[in-house]
Structure 1
Amino acid sequence: MTTATPTAPPAAPRTPASAPRRRPAGDIDGFRGLAALSTVAFHVWQQYTAYDARGSHPPVANPALDAVLSLEVIDLFFVLSAFLLTHSYARAALDGGSTRPARAFLFRRAIRILPLYLLAVLVVWATRNPTLPGDWRDLLEHLTFTHVFDQDRIFYTLGPTWSLSLEVLFYLVLVGLGPLAVRACRRLRRRSARIAVCAGGCLALYAAPLVWITVAHYALGIPHTDWVAYFGPQARFGGFAAGMGLAVLLAALGDRARLTPPTALLLTGLALAGLFCLSLQSDAEGFTFTYYHPIAAALWALLLFGTLHIRRRTFWNRFLTVRWLTPVGLISYSLFIWHEPVMLLLHNAGLLPTGPSGFPWALLIVFLAALPAAAASYWLIEYPASLLGRLKDGHGRPRDFYPEPALR
């Protein structure tokens, strides 16, 4: 005896108004390039701040310039990654259609980040642990992306890659929640109800870190130097949630209500001004310091919305696609991976000027060394590894590169 399963309501037809327009890849590369350059500048600034004799004076005297240099863009990486990866799930949930199987999604993500990451971890760890067994626990945690949960080793080997631990966790969360959201929305006939379900889920994921940060700081009194408490997924997943919410918003709008150039520039200006003020006011341990990252994630999402959901391109879009910036976006992952080892190598070799007066020259030297290293890493490691992604099709099945000739 078989039981009949209820049939899902037909997916809402995709109308011209709801069909999403192709995302401008150049703008995305521009964002990646700016974020990568800002990350390098931030870590040079951070090292010079830490190495200062008094341990508190920034390497530049101008507060405005110091705020620009100290702007943390890791939340932009989170928002941008979540937006790009969630968009297909959002469209499938709201307007029907299929999604890429989890195995295909994870395979492509693994091809994207693992070859370069594993090589860099092994090379850097080996140079810093010349005799075995070395700090084997540090190596194991980095190879398994669990160093974000270790208070002592979270910034070892490749310091910035604590964020990759959160990226990998997000991939697992997305392949779990994405198909569930799609199936849940297929039971809802009204598009507005499907939008409400997806938006409510994103809002809940954004609110959870806010609750944790509030409890950790104000109720439990956990200091900000407890890295696991404030760098773990329970505190930083708000960035991914903001990106997911942006994906739902753009999928819901489609081609409707695209921003005019004046409105787009107004939102862009407000987002950039908000990020600048947030960085300017985040030195002292106050409200903006405690909630810096959730606020920054919301502002980055607003900036992306004002950049992508437009009727006509503005000078901001043209800036993002200038010839010198988009190539940096292309090699941004390699630059993110290698810039800290390059900087520390130069510092240990005595090739970086010391003291606040030497900061601009140190920044220039690090850029001149890290950018060629990142370009070489992209073409020698990243790009060849990306070709492996062609071994499987969009459904996760092996490609047939030599099909049988068609019968005549």
Structure 2
Amino acid sequence: MTQSTRPAPPNLRIPEINGLRGLAIIAVVWHHITIALAFHPPLVLGVSTGLLLLNGWTGVNLFFMLSGFVLYLPYAAQKRQIRNTTDAWTFYKHRFFRLIPLYYLVCVTAVVLSGHLAHADRGMLREAFAIATFTFPFHHATFVPASNWALWSIGTEVLFSVLFPLLAVLAARRGIKPMLIVALVLSLGVRAIRALDPPPAGPDWIADALLLGRLDEFVIGMALAAAWVRGTFWRIPTTRSGVLAVLLLLAACYGFDRCISRTISFEWMAILNNVFDLGLTLLILTLLNGAPWLRFLRWRVLQLPGMACYSIYLWHLPVMNALGLFKGNTQPAFMAAALLITLFLAALTYRFVEFRAAPDWRALFLFKSPQPVLTVTHEPQPEHEPKLQTPTVTL
């Protein structure tokens, strides 16, 4: 039967997205704790648990994907549009005041806490200048700043923000699918080439810091947002998709573990990243399909760190450095102090810097009434209604 209506997405918030970001920030912080502890994963039934306990860095993959989802969601729903340079500058202004004030606050604090100013050399001064001018991603010697290594991915996020208006226009004019295909091919090619001569450890300058090898993750997030708004995302039984997602994530983590230990060729990292991203995509689709077993992502203990993940991400390494965790001060008291101080500073800057203009602080800390449960029932919307209702998430 022909139907002259189009599906309207449910007018609901998606607290589970905040919960996913909470898992991502917990994974990244845990990853840096394992570095400080020189952690060796135990064997369980003769099998190493390293694939579960040493791959917290993959939280960055999830961050990038969710950034694409959250940023594009209001544009996919036509709540916002980029039609001209004025719209683009409005977007840039919003992103600048969303990201940069906290960036500079933490960077100045990190440089002071690092103690490098007392013995500043040419390299330190060059890094400070690169951070101050936000040019650190563009040089191989500064893209991972010594005072706060986590800034490399902030640089990647900002580069995506710079590119976002162009991507939004291309998606509107050419469609999201062709752009997704181009991004997948481009990023895989860049990762494959860079894997031929990988860095000893950590992110790669070209593939990671300069966005080229990570663009696909952002565009996957954009494609998921578009599919969610239009009600065209892949509907499969949530148990089946959830199991497949977990299997893909575990397989990728096992491969990462083997590549990093050089048990297998490092070149496999390029395609394993696609396997991991496919697992994340299926996980998000499972969530959007209303899987009841993913409702734990609504727990406040996951949503709150997810909502404040930018503050936590920027603060945790400077605090760990200041307390000497990477110099052997890994006693339980130091570890607990680092976590508590990080959470305290993050809560302050989340409220008074990130969302300084928020009229109701209680909503920022989820002291409001419970949010409705995510559903995937899409009621038909008459064609003459020009506005779509869209689920909203914390931007």
Q: Could you tell me the TM-score, scaled by structure 2's length?
A: 0.75
What secondary structure is seen at the aligned counterpart in 2 of 1:73? helix
- Residue 124 of structure 1 deviates from its aligned partner by 1.1
Structure-1 separation of matches of 2:322 and 2:293: 39
Contact 1:238/1:294, CA 8 A, preserved across alignment: no
Equivalent residues of 1:145, 1:168 under 8 A apart: no
1:295 is aligned to 275
Residues 278 and 288 in structure 1, CA contact (< 8 A), matched pair in contact too: no
CA RMSD of aligned residues (A): 3.0
Counterpart-to-counterpart distance in 2, 1:169 and 1:22: 31
Match of 2:137 among 140, 148, 167: 148
Work out whether 1:308 is the aligned partner of 2:297: no
Amino acid at match of 2:245: A
Match of 1:59 among 40, 50, 67: 40
Displacement of 1:362:
6.9
Which consecutive unaligned segments of at least 5 residues does structure 2 have?
260-264, 360-395
Q: CA deviation at 1:297?
A: 2.4
Rounded Cα–Cα distance in structure 2 between residues aligned with 1:181 and 1:315: 33
- Structure 1 contact 81–240 (Cα < 8 Å) conserved: yes
Q: Which residue of 2 aligns with 1:271?
A: 245
Match of residue 230 from structure 1: 207
SS across alignment from 1:99: coil
Number of aligned positions between the proteins: 335
The structural deviation recorded for 1:121 is 0.8
Query: For residue 66 of structure 1, what is the amino acid of its counterpart?
Result: G
Q: Does 1:78 pair with 2:64?
A: yes
In structure 1, the partner of 2:8 is 19
Distance 1:215 1:129, change over 3 A: closer
Q: Is the 8 A contact 1:278 1:292 kept in 2?
A: yes
Matches within 5 A, 1:3-402: 17-22=6-11, 24-49=13-38, 58-62=39-43, 65-71=49-55, 72-92=58-78, 99=81, 101-127=87-113, 128-131=115-118, 135-156=124-145, 157-182=147-172, 184=173, 197-217=175-195, 221-225=196-200, 227-231=204-208, 232-254=210-232, 258=235, 263-285=237-259, 286=265, 288-310=268-290, 314-316=292-294, 318-347=295-324, 352-353=329-330, 366-384=338-356
In structure 2, give the amino acid aligned to 1:269: V
- In structure 2, do the counterparts of structure 1 residues 25 and 374 end up closer, same or farther at CA, with 3 Å as the change threshold? same
Equivalent in the alignment of 1:53: none
Cα separation, 1, equivalents of 2:350 and 2:280: 26
Give CA-to-partner distance per residue, 1:40-77, whole Å, 9 cap, x none.
0011113333xxxxxxxx42223554322222210100
Distance 1:299 1:140, change over 3 A: farther
SS in 1 for 2:218: helix
1:35 is displaced (CA, Å) by 1.0
Flag the 1:328–1:216 CA change in 2: closer, same or farther, 3 A. Answer: closer
TM-score normalised by the chain length of structure 1: 0.73
Partners in 2 of 1:91 and 1:299 — Cα distance?
A: 25
Q: Check conservation: 1:24, 1:308, Cα contact below 8 A.
A: no
SS at match of 2:41: coil
Contact between 1:268 and 1:302, CA under 8 Å: does it hold in 2? yes
* 2:250 counterpart SS class: helix
Inter-partner Cα distance in structure 2 for 1:143 and 1:270: 44
User: Contact 2:36–2:330 (CA<8 Å) still a contact in 1?
Assistant: no
Partner of residue 391, structure 1: none
Q: Which runs of 5+ in 1 are unaligned?
A: 1-13, 50-57, 186-196, 388-408
Tell me: higher relative CO, structure 1 or 2? Use CA pairs within 8 A at least 6 residues apart: 2
